[in-house]
Chains A and B, each alone.
Chain A
């Protein structure tokens, strides 16, 4: 088995967007030329604001959307070449909102056992035993087997979603903002559980979040996405100590730690919403960038390597040239 469990090679996804009845359709590039490698056993986090393409990327990883171009490989095998069921055995999702991701008409036992049924694992009795084992694992009492989601709290529902995702023992779990719909105290419980399960079952997490405090807590590596592009990919320690891209810097400055002696930070970036329809000749972040220079408006930045990763910014290139 290779060290790299999940790999994206130059993945692009475009959507045709209607502009009105009599106007031609426009193309929106939700994910542009993304290449990533996720190593076995790591927590790879993807950070970005709403509309940056995080969730489109997650859907492609789950095989729910196909890339317009490029390739996604699991253990070296392209997703496109294998069938949905085979993919689902290896990659499972945990979604943001446990209020909408669980079918209210199915009992907890049915919800958690469904993947087993779909994949034709064992008989009814062994499936039930497996479900009980999963409930124990995620810390839900057994009496909840025949309860319906409507009777559970948000945290309990998210535990059910986790049990369902893990019942087939997948290699990779795609966590799409798994705690952002939960209360603070419940969020802590779920994060603790996710880290515990990862250690116990040797899972790999592809974790999507916009909460940088959470990312700092559990990530091994971090990729920052802006307008469908990865603008920086680093180790956690490197990124938080010395962010390379101005957008990453703005994100880190915006984190509000509970410190009453500090005010609300000034982020120095414009409030202009990133427009995914616009064609950018230069750097996509340039319209909001506080340190943009002339070249940023005309030429797309190339990748600058950093000791623990890379970032795409003209300023880093100039620094590199200057230090030669």
Chain B
């Protein structure tokens, strides 16, 4: 059984003019030792999906699902007290902005130890030892000295490493990393991604990586889920999705990015015309149809999921038309 199993997750947010359907019937599963990347642009619902798993959604948001289970525990029904025990210890999160998610008024050591001492009955010395061990593990030299420093005394790359160390304090089974490298320089990004991959393997963790950077996804993920306007439009192994992208949106995204050696310098990049639809009110049909070159009347109806190959699904009814056009 998968470590995390999400079936038909729905997130609705009541707003002034009605209900915002932020996430619509999203299903995915993550196994131990596996990295799932959730890809999408801003507003696609990828961050809300991860917050829903952690039960950290904003208070106004409403979460529904056919199933939301973590290692056999039903997360939909467990009381908040038990959820708090899971959160931070068995499922941990690395947030995007290390500057805003570390408390500026406490030392690094203080914040790292707190993560462990909240969940386990350990002495201050033991927590400190574990903090030093992890800081060294994430490549911070002079860890003992760093424990006494405050977040503002560290560079962006170091702060992000501290965030990773903090998420690992309790040896979680599942780690959710929301754009963990977006704010970092490219050379540091490569180092942090390597580090995450190593740690994942070493601790046999499951990882959900949330990002909009297709380069990162291709290099790091085992499985990919592409989200558009709250819906999961394509899902499969990273190889399958990058070698044979099958949803017009996935194809469009891949054509948008300049790739050294592949796109001719100065030539126009592929662009997806139009804009993301408004998600307020009742939604029907494929949300991408107003921007899609293959759109047909049937796209306004119910969209079922089609299998491109085993394990590679796409939410598109115009697969044949697309394949004809590509061939």
- A interface residues (Cβ-Cβ under 8 A, vs B): 49-50, 153-154, 183-189, 191-192, 195-196, 210-214, 216-219, 236, 240, 250-251, 253-267, 269, 271, 273
Contacts and interface: CB of A to CB of B under 8 A. Distances in A.
A262 B156 contact: no
A232 to B, nearest CB: 15
Contact of B217 (A219, A254, A258): A258
B212 A184 contact: yes
Given A217-B269, A264-B190, A267-B187, A188 B257 contact: yes
B155 A256 contact: no
Contacts of A271: 139, 157, 188, 191
B161 to A, nearest CB: 8
A253 B187 CA distance: 8
B234 to A, nearest CB: 14
B268 interface: yes
- Interface-centre pick from B156, B189, B191, B261 (highest chain A CB count, 10 A): B191
Contacts of A153: 275-276
B92 interface: no
Contact of B187 (A187, A195, A236, A250): A250
Interface of B: 41-42, 139, 155-158, 185-191, 193-194, 197, 212-220, 238-239, 241-243, 252-263, 265-266, 268-272, 275-276
27 contacts: A50-B185, A153-B276, A183-B41, A183-B212, A184-B253, A185-B252, A185-B271, A185-B272, A191-B258, A192-B269, A192-B271, A195-B266, A213-B215, A214-B258, A217-B258, A219-B265, A253-B190, A255-B260, A256-B216, A257-B260, A258-B215, A259-B219, A260-B242, A264-B193, A266-B190, A267-B187, A271-B157
B185 A264 contact: no
- Interface-centre pick from A49, A185, A256, A264 (highest chain B CB count, 10 A): A185
A307 to B, nearest CB: 19
Nearest to B158: A273
Main secondary structure of the interface of B (DSSP, over half): helix
Contacts of A251: 186-187
A306 to B, nearest CB: 20
A253 B188 CA distance: 12
A185 B272 CA distance: 6
Given A183-B42, A257-B262, 11 more contacts: A188-B272, A213-B215, A218-B266, A254-B186, A256-B215, A257-B259, A258-B214, A258-B215, A258-B242, A260-B238, A264-B220
Contacts of A264: 190, 193-194, 197, 219-220
B254 A258 contact: yes
Nearest to B276: A153
A263 B193 CA distance: 10
A86 B48 CA distance: 49
A50 B268 contact: no
Contacts of B215: 213, 255-258
Given A192-B268, A271-B157, A185 B186 contact: no
